[in-house]
Structure 1
């Protein structure tokens, strides 16, 4: 995708020349002269604020479809008569969908514009979450879940692009705000789904479907942004900027590969933590309720740190030291889980929560490793799609090792072992380089 495909996405758009293939989701910069309307100037002031609201609302909706299901998985299995194999498949479906649909995001953004694609993604989440409890049967439930996950996947990829385009000088702070909202949405869905289900009558169907309301709210600001952009663009044949293209062959960039592997390994660690950490504590003698609280603490650590870490990373020329620090926290947490899982449970939960903040660091580096919005959309799609593919075997392998070894020694050794290459590729991805200079 060339730079011109996203040239008018954000407020950095330049003078307009003839084009009919422009994304219809960013504001126009009012041009001097009699044609510039007062309305365009007013839009230039309030539209970025609306984009910020859209970013926050979108981020809040990128995980509840997954974590709300995890909270009610036993009820869903009983209600739909799912086998254990199918229920296990549900835990792998998100990563598969993120990889499969995320790779399509650049093509969709080129054709329709990132804002319009994000708007459609929020609508897909709304419909998928609303209908999946009621479609009847396991097949319909999986299909509707796939629709919601497709919306999440394309939005995952395009959020860094929107940030880079609208706020090029504030990538760190805006990524921090987005990451904090994402972590908050994850934690809220995990913590509130069960009590909300009870308050709404006890039906798991209602408990899952209620999260569609939040997704529906997220559609609204993006509708306004897309509508405003199309109104500013005028009829087909109006003029738009066409900056010179810097060709990028993403697979030829060592930095892109380093980011993809870093993203995949941090996602592997996060999925293992979410899926297995409570069981590790329970097998060590911790009560089920306390084990759940420990997981909530781990997830909640991401809320403040996801806001602070990107701001810090954006001020550094080399983000490798942050990757090392987060990796060392992970290694310390795994060592604690091995040596004294129950005695130091709260400390290990905190350390794992810090280590899991490699996710907002990866997002920040995606926004910083390209000079253009077009480069960011390619890098984001590549790093996230390849990364989520890498993450798929990890949780399954941990479960297999646990089952066959009868304990947590080998699985924890695997988790700690994966943290070493994560640190190494994090240092490589954190170097002050741009993919345009490599590919």
Structure 2
């Protein structure tokens, strides 16, 4: 049964989903590889610059590549999946991730390194967009469980490189190259099983579209829920990347030592694991979500307010508040599947929301940094971030209302 009592599109068409255990393993394998390619760069950025002779401008471009590539390639992922199928497109993405990450670890020039990084991020973008559709196809009554598995593994995959980068870089067997190469090997390890999953997926005839599906295109912007969810996903993504990029520096500017500032950032990031466990279940089972949506936005605003008024007084409190506010990310991911019936609509909705979100994720840190440089303080940037938390709350409450995007769509011939 779906969240509001109806059968999923997959069930209505009589298709046979993968066994839950196999779907869960597949989700874990792909999810753990959708973030390390990005988060593994920051801890060794100085070593990369020294090793490749990379200038500060090139390093700045490198840090902006995840959001930009996720946005551009993510917008194309649904189109590719219409021809290849969801599972095969995810498999292709894992192949690109493994090739890009392995080859960039032996690149000898900054341009080649960034080109291969874009290749890897393109593969991650395919997974970002299409894993929710895969979950919708195979989750059935356990969709919330698969969403929890997905969100938790995503957060774990983002955190792992931060924990192991230093010891890997310090080792005698490879330095920063080894610190990057290991994530290419991890993606390669997932690539082969996903080939088998894709073959099994085709045999059980679970596709985003089937022969009986109408051959028209979905006008996703005709859905009020979809537009609101797009805004919600975008604003929370902007907050997440601003926090990853600037919170540690805000703490350091307030007088904290580098190690203590880094610990605050780690506290913030690690709470994403708890959010991935908790929020999909709440989205699936809570009779009303407006209280939770408003509470997460309030936590974000309170965290920024603390950084503005007393950043060094109880720094762990502001990190905890921002980390809890970051539960908005797994909430947004869960809403993509919870507010759509048909896996095709799920994919279209994901392909609409996530590229916009990652564009904001790329622009947000740049804009906040520019404001800080122009004003000479963090006051104006933090006030703007506090105000944007209200926008996130309003959009989230509209998106979380118990309505299906499918019922709001207008269609036009392909």
Q: Find 2:168's aligned residue among 188, 196, 210.
A: 196
Structure with larger Rg: 1
C-alpha separation between the residues in 2 aligned to 1:229 and 1:62? 21
C-alpha separation between the residues in 1 aligned to 2:64 and 2:131? 23
SS state at 1:136 partner: coil
Residue 408, structure 1, aligned to residue 378, structure 2 = yes
SS state at 1:343 partner: coil
Q: Residue 399 of structure 2 aligns with which residue?
A: 429
Q: Find 2:135's aligned residue among 160, 163, 167.
A: 163
Cα 1:364–1:229 shift into 2, 3 Å? closer
Alignment of 1:75-114 (within 5 A): 75-114=47-86
Q: Residue 323 of structure 1 aligns with which residue?
A: 293
C-alpha separation between the residues in 1 aligned to 2:12 and 2:32? 28
**Structure 2 unmatched runs, 5+:** 1-7, 410-414
Q: Find 1:298's aligned residue among 242, 265, 268.
A: 268
Contact 1:124 1:151 in 2 (8 A): yes
Q: Residue 387 of structure 2 aligns with which residue?
A: 417
C-alpha separation between the residues in 2 aligned to 1:191 and 1:334? 26
Q: Residue 382 of structure 1 aligns with which residue?
A: 352
SS state at 1:12 partner: helix
C-alpha separation between the residues in 1 aligned to 2:337 and 2:47? 40
Residue 394, structure 1, aligned to residue 364, structure 2 = yes
Contact 1:50 1:221 in 2 (8 A): no
C-alpha separation between the residues in 2 aligned to 1:65 and 1:119? 16
Residue 134, structure 1, aligned to residue 133, structure 2 = no
Residue 363, structure 1, aligned to residue 362, structure 2 = no
CA drift at 1:241: 5.7
Give TM-score, length-normalised by structure 1.
Answer: 0.86
Q: Residue 275 of structure 1 aligns with which residue?
A: 245
SS state at 1:301 partner: helix
CA drift at 1:201: 3.4
CA drift at 1:273: 0.4
C-alpha separation between the residues in 2 aligned to 1:258 and 1:170? 25
CA drift at 1:213: 1.5
Contact 1:122 1:216 in 2 (8 A): yes
Cα 1:411–1:300 shift into 2, 3 Å? same
Contact 1:10 1:162 in 2 (8 A): no
Residue 228, structure 1, aligned to residue 200, structure 2 = yes
C-alpha separation between the residues in 2 aligned to 1:167 and 1:199? 42
C-alpha separation between the residues in 1 aligned to 2:201 and 2:271? 37
Q: Find 2:259's aligned residue among 289, 296, 307.
A: 289
Cα 1:231–1:366 shift into 2, 3 Å? closer
CA drift at 1:246: 8.3
State how many pairs are aligned: 398
C-alpha separation between the residues in 1 aligned to 2:63 and 2:48? 13
C-alpha separation between the residues in 1 aligned to 2:145 and 2:199? 27
Q: Find 1:57's aligned residue among 10, 29, 45.
A: 29
Q: Residue 258 of structure 1 aligns with which residue?
A: 228
Calculate the aligned-residue CA RMSD, in Å. Answer: 2.0
Q: Find 2:177's aligned residue among 182, 205, 213.
A: 205
C-alpha separation between the residues in 1 aligned to 2:107 and 2:9? 39
C-alpha separation between the residues in 1 aligned to 2:352 and 2:172? 41
Contact 1:254 1:438 in 2 (8 A): yes
C-alpha separation between the residues in 2 aligned to 1:301 and 1:100? 28
SS state at 2:218 partner: coil
SS state at 2:212 partner: coil
C-alpha separation between the residues in 2 aligned to 1:230 and 1:385? 27
Q: Find 1:178's aligned residue among 132, 150, 154.
A: 150
C-alpha separation between the residues in 2 aligned to 1:57 and 1:229? 16
Contact 2:87 2:201 in 1 (8 A): no
CA drift at 1:320: 2.7
SS state at 2:387 partner: helix
Q: Deviations over 1:166-201 (max 9, x none)?
A: 013222221111100010111111111121221353
Q: Residue 219 of structure 1 aligns with which residue?
A: 191
Q: Residue 412 of structure 2 aligns with which residue?
A: none
SS state at 1:248 partner: strand
SS state at 1:412 partner: helix
Residue 248, structure 1, aligned to residue 218, structure 2 = yes
